Amino acid sequence: MAELVRVAGYSTVGLTLPTGLMPEKVARIRRFFRDAGIDTAMRVDLAPTSRNELLRFLRRFRNLYDVVSVKCMNQHVSIVACRDRRVDLVFFDPANRKVRFSNSLANLLRGALEFNIAATLQANESETLSRMSRDAAIAEQEKVPVVLSSGSTSAFMVRAPSQLAALGSLIGLSTERSYRSVSEVPWMIVSKNADRKSKEYVEEGVRVATPSAR
């Protein structure tokens, strides 16, 4: 899979691994990708069923992972996930009819909205694409940052960034926005979180300045 990811033209991938996995195994998987010339960003996909569960997960996992993504299972969770700045990505399952992305959620959103191509390949395509188009139209309208990801669970779900961007155009994102959503936006999330983890970081806009040598 790492080889295929490299052939597809990626330099960094977000790896979603089970939260209970042994650190040695995680290191081995990351080394596997590094040997193929690909950087990895550790990502956790949270699927809480309540507001309190989400807050508990965020307290526990935020500092352990480079990217935190929340699958919005219901309206309560989606409101908190959109508002909380610890959340990098929110994802709405197109098969879940209980919750949908709306203009009010777009206004609350501090992270980015994620579209997952794996959902398109697995579920009822026409319905999934129509829901994604509707969400994309809201994202365009409200100028919400969008991330297009392959959501690959196997090598057969890997697609090139340009293909993901083409899918973005298909669901109604502008060409420029589609390309940004597979390059600039995910890169900004990863680099911002790497910056947050650095020793000099205090809070947004505040850093410890080391005295320069004179």
Partner 1 sequence: MHMARRYFRVRIASEGPLLADQFGAAVTDVVRRYFGEVGLVRIEPRMIKFDAQRSEAVFACRRDAASQFEAALALLSHVYDAGVAPIVVGISGTIKGLRRKK
Residues that bind partner 1 (CB under 8 A): 4, 7-9, 117, 120-121, 125, 154-160, 162-164, 166-167, 169-170, 175
Q: What are phi and psi of 90, to 5 degrees?
A: -120, 140
Least Å distance between CB 186 and partner 1?
17
Please say which residue, 155 or 194, places its beta carbon nearer to partner 1.
155
Please say which residue, 137 or 160, places its beta carbon nearer to partner 1.
160
Is there a contact between 173 and 136 (Cβ–Cβ < 8 Å)?
yes
Please say which residue, 137 or 170, places its beta carbon nearer to partner 1.
170
DSSP letters for 23-56: HHHHHHHHHHHHHTT-EEEEEEEE--SSHHHHHH
Q: What are phi and psi of 67, to 5 degrees?
A: -130, 130
Least Å distance between CB 160 and partner 1?
5
Please say which residue, 3 or 142, places its beta carbon nearer to partner 1.
3
Residue written as token pair 């992270």:
111
**What are the DSSP E strand ranges found in 102-163?**
112-116, 146-149
Please say which residue, 160 or 188, places its beta carbon nearer to partner 1.
160
Is there a contact between 155 and 1 (Cβ–Cβ < 8 Å)?
yes
